[in-house]
Amino acid sequence: MAQGRENPGMSSGNSRLWRIVVLLIAAVWTGAAVITPQVRAERPNIVFILADDLGYGDVKAFGGDRCNIDTPDFDQLCRDGIRLTNAHVTDSVCVPSRTSIMTGRYAFRFGAAEAGGPWGFVGLRFPVTQHTLGDMLQTAGYRTGYVGKWHLGTRMVTRDGAVQGPDNTDFSQPIQIGPLDYGFDSSFILPGSLDMFPYAFIRGREWQGQVTAQKGWSAFNRVGPAAEDFEDTQVLSTFCAEAGRFIRSSAQQSQPFFLYVALTAPHTPTSPEPEFTGRSRIGVYGDFVMNTDACIGRIRAHLRAAGVDQNTLLMVSSDHGPGHYSGRNRVATANQMQEMQQDGHYSTGVYRGYKFSSFEGGLRVPFAAVWPGVIPAGSVSGALVGLNDLMATCAEAAQTDLTAEQGPDSISFLSVLKQRENTTRESLIIRGTRSDAFLQGDWKLILGPGSGSAGIFSSEPVEDDAWKSAVAAFGGSPAGQEDLVHPAFLQLYNLREDPGETRDHSPEQMDRVRRMLAEHGRIVEAGRSTPGPSLSNDQKLQSFRPPAFVWGK
């Protein structure tokens, strides 16, 4: 039985009540802040909007002249609040990036996930005992809601008792585990991405509609189980309407609220609402980005209509950089983003690489926040921020505390948002799908010779080719990890001088490389990057992650 499974004899309502009681007891036992009605009234509502595959250069306020898409709502958010130009995700691919955001813990520290099926049928990425953003704010007295793409795993009922998948899931039965088991009072989700079946919404634990159809969309044409009335072009408007429903109902309560809105765009399939079709100068991808941008405006309008916008901390970002297979053609096609550059649009701005890679284009993301009267309007910060820092930042805003075990890789940047400090984070571990990178000050160290990604949609240089060239330059197969501390297997860039990562400084800066590697190793080994007692990782970790052939195998 997987860790954290509910008692099958306990009703979902009783299970949820018991979970809240346990969290409250834990808060008192560990010394977390006790929330009084007076304190509650002074704390802001918190709304976090996460786009899917939105590039740094896809937003005009960040991409500047290299952006040829109109993004008036994101731009207005920057004018009304703060624009962070040095924000990063921990991983350049969806699930681990979202894991770090939800838990305040680097995703690489987690062990194996629970078994599941393909795409939206994935099993739990971490057990229900894991402390999450929802848990923290729920325990702090917030009403918590989740709307949008989940993709952190569920447990579904199957007809044969086997692992859930497209052929055996019983869609007439409520799911067993989902967002309600991770600290959210209400949820309305799509289990995976918009091009990952099942194509059906889940409200709380209940599937919505008759999941009896087989559908597939453009891009990868993944055909699988779908609700009869599910349409790809209606998903964004549905999520915005659900966000509005939660905001209106929460505004009538005596407690503050936290709302996590995870949009499915502009990730493939490129499916804008009809009113946005043909709006962009660069084609359907631009249409979809404009549609994504409009969601920010819709949610802000819901906040204003409910009369809570002045006491709400609203933050907007993306889960990682764009996939270069998106563009004018709805079918996923390699290097489409390069074709859009002919129309003056660079989805990654001045940065190199795309989704999956260890380069900045896959890991640096747009981030803006507004909190009227608290965050100075029109401010800009180049402070290093990781989206894994959201937990500690929300904790400080909510005037609650994290225990030594909670959010071990999360550092509050609330003082940066308020423009009271220039920076709060000294370093950050970030990851492509095949190579780690380490940010420290102006410097970035990539623990590998290639792009950090592999496959037909990887960035250049191709990972396996780069490793083969590195082995040749080294003079043969390395004997172990220690031999990889060599310029042939490393890349070192100064991002202030060279944001495009074009000049590798590792040959003449090996002393700096060794210092950065030592610090990277210390953080990995300690199980945390925040002050406190050492914690255990759930699996054995190595600094370098080369393909097997590098060892001569």
Report pLDDT for 218: 85
- C-alpha–C-alpha distance, residues 519 and 513, integer Å: 10
Give the SS3 label for residue 104: coil
Amino acid making up residue 179: P
Structure tokens at 498: 């060279």
**According to DSSP H, which parts of 306-436 are helical?**
336-340, 360-363, 390-397, 414-417
Report pLDDT for 94: 96
Q: Which of 126, 334, 117 is nearest to 220 (CA)?
A: 334
Report pLDDT for 553: 72
How many beta carbons lie within 10 A of that of residue 341, not counting itself?
14
Report pLDDT for 324: 95
**According to DSSP H, which parts of 263-355 are helical?**
284-305, 336-340
Report pLDDT for 40: 36
Report pLDDT for 10: 40
Q: Are 480 and 546 a contacting pair, CB within 8 Å?
A: no
- C-alpha–C-alpha distance, residues 193 and 199, integer Å: 9
Which residues of the chain carry a pLDDT beneath 70?
A: 1-41
- Enumerate domains of the chain plus CATH numbers: 42-422 (3.40.720.10), 434-551 (3.30.1120.10)
How many beta carbons lie within 10 A of that of residue 304, not counting itself?
13
Q: Which of 389, 424, 421, 426 is nearest to 407 (CA)?
A: 389
pTM: 0.93
End-to-end C-alpha distance for the chain, whole angstroms: 36
- C-alpha–C-alpha distance, residues 264 and 505, integer Å: 38
- C-alpha–C-alpha distance, residues 24 and 202, integer Å: 27
251 exposure class (CB count in 10 Å sphere: 0-12, 13-18, 19+): middle
Structure tokens at 396: 């400080």
Q: List, in sequence order, every residue forming a beta bridge with 199; answer none if it has no partner.
A: 226
